[in-house]
Amino acid sequence: MSKKMIGYIITALLVGALIFIMVENSTGQKKSVETPITQASQADALQEEEGLEQYSLAPDFTLETLAGETVTLSELKGKKVILNFWATWCPPCKAEMPHMESYYSKLTDEDQVELIAVNVTESERRGIGEVEKFVASYELSFPIPLDKTAEVTHTYGVFSMPTTYMIDTEGRIAQKVIGPLDEKTLNELVDSMD
């Protein structure tokens, strides 16, 4: 078999694997199980471990923002959190940023919603300077934590950008969205969370 043919086979396998992963992520549905609530089941729920499955606790993290402040996810419990992962070189990220900024600019304290846009800084070829230029050119005002080692990105299993996790007021993952979001979709996703 020629090297060219082997290359085609490997490419086809990779594309097939990516399609499989995308289909699996988009078809995840909430399973309803009716069980009586007892003290034992409440205790079990309190000891639930964090994870990336829908309705599991979102893994906690602390990152420094572009502005030099720190963001700790667990400190936002009680609010709905839009946790977005992005990079400056990502065309779909560029497409969604004006929608993110428009949505964020309309939030009030009563909304109890926070938008956290984690820059996967480890993937930025030109470093933090490129992130600063990007943020300035899009006039972004929401917090931009910097994932300099991609540790948080890997913890959340982010392979494609942008990827957004919707986290409810209890700190649980309500939904994962791969791809760009517009303002209307952001509103709908936030409204659907508790």
Q: CA-CA distance, 59 to 15, in Å (whole number)?
A: 29
In this predicted model, what pLDDT tens digit does every residue of 42-93 receive, in sequence order?
A: 333 333 444 588 899 999 999 999 999 999 999 999 999 999 999 999 999 9
Let me know: does 169 contact 59? Beta carbons within 8 Å: no
Report the amino acid identity of residue 152. V
* 173-187 mean pLDDT: 95
| pTM higher than 0.85 | no
Show the tokens assigned to 9.
């086979």
Average predicted confidence (pLDDT) for the chain: 84
Return the percentage of the chain with pLDDT > 90, whole number: 71
Local structure of residue 171 (DSSP, 8 states)? S
- The Cα 181–Cα 111 span in angstroms is 19
Residue 98 per-residue DSSP state:
H
Q: What is the DSSP letter of 112?
A: -
Q: How confident is the model at residue 26 (pLDDT cuts 50, 70, 90)?
A: low
Q: Which whole-number Å values give the CA distances from 89 to 30, 53, 155, in the listed order?
A: 34, 28, 21
